[in-house]
Amino acid sequence: MGSSAKTAVSEAQTAIERACPAIALLDAQGTVVGWSQGAQRLVGYSAVEVAGRSAGVLLVAADDRAKASQAAQESTLRGRWSDLAQVRHRDGRIIDVRLCVSSLSGQDGLEWWVVCATDKALLPAWPAKATAAEPLLATQPPPSRLPIGVVIRDTHLRCIRVNDTQGSMDGIPLPKRLGRRLTEAAPGTEAETLEAVMHQVLESGDPAINVDYQAFLPANVRSNHILTASYVRLDDAQGRALGVCVVSVDVTDSRRARERLAILGEASRRIGTTLDVMQTGQELADLAVPFLADYATVDLAESVPLGEKPLAHLCPQGGHIPVFRRAGLASIHPGTPESLIARGEPVFVLPTSPFTGALRSGKSHFEPILDASKGTWLDHHDAARAEKLREHAMHSLMVIPIRARGAVLGVAVFVRTEDPRPFEEDDLLLAEELVSWAALALDNARQYVRERSAALALRPLLLPHRATGGSAADVAWRYLPTDSHHGIGGDWFDVIPLSGARIALVVGDVVGHGINAAAKTGQLRTATRTLADMDMPPDEVLSRLDEQVIRLTEAEADPRHPATTTMAATCLYTVYDPVTRTCTMARAGHPRPRSSTRTATSPSPTCPLEHRSASGWSPSSP
């Protein structure tokens, strides 16, 4: 067998031993009555060799045997004991193990014991204190401290032994469990599925590891628990199947934490995909349903979709609460029948309601058990909404203010209807995380709308009002921005009348988009007109413009980081003389012009003068 194959086998064996610890069943005198295949893998002894003997003979040190005996007496009160010990392998070597012992009750009233042993070398390192690299691991309890439920079932799957922890986890009381099969104690499809797993373990001898199931809690208990169980066959002194040992752990918190992390991961991919505030609001609602809520709405202050300044805080304006607009709406039911207001319609916030309170205080309103009884604020101020609330059995509510950079953008509402579980504190934290993520995306979109609106308003001011060539030439032009999202870029052109019936034709481009590029464009356009009035040659005009670019860059530079402020632009400056019918042109980084007739387009004419500069203007090849 090659080294890689041996490594693969070793890793597989390690994984099996970690997932399936050694399990032994002891009677009241500490005699081994049941032995698992995992126990045989750990110490080398088979069930035939160990069953009927005292479990203490496997312990190497006398101190360990004394501690185990004392712990057995004490754990009748506590029910559980865990410690490190040394056991002797069949081949004589010594193995350090962690022992976890739990007392079991039966119909005979005697205390039996189940012992789980795991090789210390296979245990993961578990830090005593949190470290920067392991914050999540350090906050979880070590496995030896987790509540563990244990059930022993015979070959007919009747419960013969159980510890106290199991009943508190899965909701089946001890009198109802002992002597009965799971399908008798908790009838249902889930119990039938678990019994099928146990039958398979009994027949094959192979353990079933980490089988998830829901706790069997009463129907009136809304909060449910998720348990994961491992099923291991126990053999008797003759090597025959004695029964099944079921070891269960409550993994509700870890599974929910994993789900919440997955939802936050989805938020980074699904919220803020565009710069449309209404779309971002809908993305937040779509993500929340059904992961977090059965029904969700997102209402934004009416100024937000327009890109205007948001509310610094909620206060009456002219005696009235500002109007909001519904940006997001989602439900587990088609057509969102829970909502009185369609997406895009205005929402009038009542002055006395949880929504107004959350907006004013900036703090979330958390009502896990929603009071829908008669006489609440809904009946006094919003009878239609009260009727919807009762019609759809809305029983749990969270109202989260949407705030970003100290401004109020709106409010998000999460409701549960068909999900019987009320919202918990962890749900509130998750909702606040989602809303915070969306708030930043909404504020970025709002600022984009504001800048785009300003750029669109500024664009006509950067173009010639009447581009005319006078008696020298007929001028036709069309300005079509390639970036329709930003509304305006740094491109500009101009037609400037000069002395002697000449005209200057100018085309330029400042690198960038939006309001900043437009402002720099305006500065360069004004400077170009000023220099043209001085009747300078084209190359001199570009030289002076280059100096202007340098001055503008230096004026805007951050003294602490001067290299981070740059300004790049290109320009083509042409002077046409109708008397000599010649063009004199210079360019800095700009593409060459093309001449055309009504029937054909000729190659670019050669510039008799070409200006180059290493600063400000982007140089180009001739």
Per DSSP, the chain holds a count of helices (H) and strands (E) of: 17, 22
Tokens of 550: 């340098």
In eight-state DSSP terms, residue 432 is H
CB 237 within 8 A of CB 24: no
Residue 142 has pLDDT above 50, yes or no: no
What's the pLDDT tens digit per position in 342-392? 998 988 877 777 888 888 888 999 999 987 676 666 665 667 778 888 888
Domain boundaries 272-454, corresponding CATH code: 3.30.450.40
Sign of CA dihedral 444, 448, 450, 451: positive
Global pTM reads 0.62
Class of the domain covering 16-250:
alpha beta
What is the number of other CB atoms lying within 10 angstroms of the CB of residue 15? 12
On average, the pLDDT of the chain sits at 79
In terms of pLDDT, which residue wins out, 444 or 490? Answer: 444
Asked whether residue 13 carries a pLDDT value surpassing 60, the answer given is no
pLDDT at 243 over 80: yes
Q: What is the largest CA-CA distance in the chain?
A: 122
Please give the Cα distance from 326 to 535 (Å, whole number).
59
SS3 content of the chain, % helix, strand, coil (to 5): 35, 25, 35
Cα(613)–Cα(464) distance, integer angstroms: 27
Distance CA 274, CA 282 (A): 11
**Does 217 have pLDDT greater than 90?**
no
- Most confident among 20-24, 184-188, 316-320, 544-548 (mean pLDDT): 184-188
The CATH code belonging to domain 463-602 is 3.60.40.10
- Would the pLDDT of 400 be above 80? yes
Domain ranges of the chain: 16-250, 272-454, 463-602
Cβ proximity of 570 and 590 under 8 Å: yes
CB burial of residue 460 (10 Å; 0-12, 13-18, 19+): exposed
For tokens 């709406």, the residue is 329
Domains 16-250 and 463-602 are alike in CATH topology: no
User: Mind giving me the DSSP string for 519-563?
Assistant: HHHHHHHHHHHHHHHTT--HHHHHHHHHHHHHHHHHHH-BTTBGG
| Model pLDDT, residue 128 | 42
pLDDT of residue 319: 43
Contacting residues for 141 by C-beta, under 8 A, at least 6 apart: none
Q: Is pLDDT at 521 greater than 50 in this prediction?
A: yes
Provide the pLDDT confidence category of residue 285 given band limits of 50, 70 and 90.
very high
Q: Is the pLDDT of residue 42 over 70?
A: yes
CB neighbours (10 Å) of residue 405? 10
pLDDT of 512 above 50:
yes
CB 271 within 8 A of CB 280: yes
The single residue listed with the structure tokens 């100096």 is 547
